Amino acid sequence: MDAGAEVAPAAPSPLIELSGVEKVYRTGSLDYPALRGVDLEIGQGEMVSIIGPSGSGKSTILNLVTGIDKPSAGRVVVDGREVADMGQEALAAWRGTRVGIVFQFFQLLPTLTALENVILPMEFAGLGSKRERVANAKRRLEQVGLDNMGDHVPSELSGGEQQRVAIARAMACDPVLLIGDEPTGNLDSETAQRMFDLLTELNSSGTTVVYVTHDPGLAEMAGRKIEIRDGRVRHG
């Protein structure tokens, strides 16, 4: 090698790595293969959309990456941890500090106000003082346009407003990874674009964003698109 030649820096390790992942669900005596030998890498700082028809395995991938479910075979390594090897306490602590999740159906606690729902993950993670947690939660609600709705419980909010609270909650702990299962699915087009702009801003600051969507337009906005069909990765 030429002594004066520059050596290219080594590529960073992937934040998410699935190797030979299979997932089989059993219903009675029947087995349903949701994933069939998936190999997939997603790098730190990427914004990736996952598309595919219903039942193709999209949400199963998200559930495995976040440790909500475990693979039947293969390895799922996220943020340097083999997710399936972590116990429930370790998983909860890891998710609380490193992963933000926006569920398709909100999953807000019904007896807590919007503000309290956003504060909750910071309390679980033990982040900051009470005053700092409240201030950060208010800032996150302001980011999603709900700064005047913090004292409302979920039943007093529309579906779109609940989804915005869920997005604020997912961003509360400044996660390295944000996972979204149809994160804008319950929003009108204008609000959906505003929320996607927020996710893009979060991604620009270094957070890896991975989301499932049925919206082709939204899928194309990601830096990379992965298609899942019949439990297999078609592109990505």
Query: Residue 210: what pLDDT?
Result: 96
CB 170 within 8 A of CB 141: no
Query: Residue 111: what pLDDT?
Result: 96
Stated pTM of the model: 0.86
pLDDT in tens, the chain (236 residues): 555 555 544 455 789 999 999 999 988 888 889 999 999 999 999 999 999 988 888 989 999 999 999 999 999 999 989 999 999 888 888 888 899 988 877 789 999 999 999 999 999 888 889 999 999 999 999 988 899 999 999 999 988 889 889 989 999 998 999 999 888 777 788 878 888 888 898 899 899 999 998 888 889 999 999 999 999 998 54
Query: Residue 235: what pLDDT?
Result: 55
- Residue 66 and residue 84: Cα distance in Å, rounded? 10
- Residue 183 and residue 106: Cα distance in Å, rounded? 9
Query: Residue 6: what pLDDT?
Result: 59
CB 99 within 8 A of CB 175: yes
Domains of the chain with CATH codes: 45-71+86-235 (3.40.50.300)
Q: For residue 55, which of 228, 236, 235, 233 has the smallest C-alpha distance? A: 228
H helices present in 114-225, as ranges: 114-125, 130-143, 159-171, 189-204, 216-220
Query: Residue 194: what pLDDT?
Result: 81
For residue 18 the two structure tokens come to 């699935």
CB 74 within 8 A of CB 38: yes
- DSSP code of residue 112: S
